[in-house]
Amino acid sequence: MTSPVILEVAVNGATPRSVNPHVPLTPAEVADEMLACVARGASIAHDHHEAMFVADGVHPVEPYVEAWTPVLAQYPDLLLYATMAAGARGIPIERRWAHHEELARRGMGGLSLVDPGSVNLGLTSDGVVAEAAAPGPYQNSLADTEHMFARCAAHGTGPSISIFDPSFLRVALTWHRHGRVPRGAIVKLYFGGALEFGLPPTTTALEAYLEMLEPSGLPWSVAVLGGDVVACGLAETAVRRGGHVRVGLEDFAGTTTPTNTELVDGAVALLADLGHRPATIAETRGILGL
């Protein structure tokens, strides 16, 4: 019998149409893209309606509500989550996370973002730094992290825990050991491809993370930001080690311009080759304990 693997699709992120003309940007485009990807096997979906680096740190909730409403009408239990703004400009976490509060209050999404650390983002392998990212890091203090976990617990949303480097994981695991990570958590291991941060997408790097993770029993997935998680072999290694996979145009970088559905189809084909299948939405909720 094939065993289920969670597939997440991150449909846009900061990827502009100048890089890939297929990136969905408007709420209607995002909704259509999510519906198509869920029909192919995705059970978690993530999108951006604002950039990470915005002046006031506010992400309006309305575009998320507009995009997610038709998706949840068709798949009421689908797991969705939003992004949030960088905190390097002295922006309080209450402001940066406010749209997560409102989405959770409305019962939309099921997951909320928790980024338990700070990291420099924006440097690419060609030595160029994104202008918006240059002035400072993506910053989340320990107090910010505690706030995000506590608000997830208050709302009953599962924490989608972003791991940009090993220090992020050590913080999350310490909180977990002390019972301060609420149910429904999934650890997202983000590896740097053309984006120069954290660990590269190698087996050795993955094993270092897994050595830290395994005592916790937390479910985990892999993604390559600025690369191709399937083509580089990391997705296969992760699945063989019991993990899950994220694909999508937020992450993808390469010589082609695929669609989100093509990336999901590629991941589904890999799972089939390995004797697995995409987890259904109900199975994904079960794996996460939601």
Sign, CA dihedral 213-48-284-258, equals: negative
Q: pTM for this structure?
A: 0.96
Query: CA–CA separation, 79 vs 290, rounded Å?
Result: 10
pLDDT at 137: 85
With a cut of 90, say whether residue 129 has pLDDT above it. Answer: no
Pairing of strands 79-81, 111-114: unpaired
Give 182-205 pLDDT, tens digit per residue: 999 999 999 999 989 999 999 999
Q: Which residue, among 228, 268, 271, 249, has the nearest Cα to 24 in the 3D structure?
A: 249
Q: Which pLDDT score is estimated for 136?
A: 78
Tell me the pLDDT tens digit for each residue of 63-118.
999 999 999 999 999 999 999 988 777 889 999 999 999 999 999 999 999 999 99
